[in-house]
Amino acid sequence: MPTLYTEIELNAPRSLVWETICRKDRWKHWNTFLKDKTPHQTLTRGHSLVLSLQRLPKEPETQFQAFVTTVEPDSCLKWVAIAPGYRSEHVFELWDMGDRCTKYSHKENISGALSTLFFPFIRKDEQRGIRRMAMDLKDYVEAQYG
């Protein structure tokens, strides 16, 4: 199963990082990778979301429907997007590193019969996108925490 992964340390409390991730209506202020198409829909287990991603700046957005599978406050958020022959699971995790420092990780697990066909074409750009999101998050929460 192909997996993309990034992690970064943020100089902000875990609760602030979590709140920033969960406030989809505020993503437009910092998140250049994921776009929220259903800002009224909360990140609650079992809820369906319409999102889009932009692998590279100025690239057209790819819209998809995701289903929230896990919400562990201040710790873990997961959602799954499924299309015929393709499954993508996004996992966001936070760890308290002490001294108001948080480790953030974003993992994308890709599976399904068509994953081996699509993955080579999106791998590098998708990896850049999740890294960019991590840097966007770091810049935003550190500016907020100041």
- Between residues 136 and 124, which one has the greater pLDDT? 136
| CA neighbor of 65 nearest in space, from 42, 41, 83, 84 | 83
Phi-psi region of 71 (alpha: psi -120 to 50; beta: other; left: phi over 0): beta
Residue 27 is predicted with a pLDDT of: 95
The per-residue pLDDT for range 9-33, each reduced to its tens digit, is 999 999 999 999 999 999 999 999 9
Residue 46 is predicted with a pLDDT of: 96
Average pLDDT, the chain: 93
Which long-range contacts link 80-88 to residues 24+ away (Cβ below 8 Å)?
81/51, 82/112, 83/112, 84/114, 85/112, 85/113, 85/114, 85/115, 86/110, 86/112, 86/113, 86/114, 86/115, 86/118, 87/111, 87/112, 87/115, 88/64
Residue 57 is predicted with a pLDDT of: 87
Amino acid at residue number 110 = I
* Residue 63 phi, psi dihedral angles, 5° rounding: -90, 145
4-13, 38-47, 69-78, 89-98: which has the minimum mean pLDDT? 38-47
Amino acid at residue number 6 = T
- Share of residues in the chain with pLDDT > 70 (%): 100
pTM: 0.93
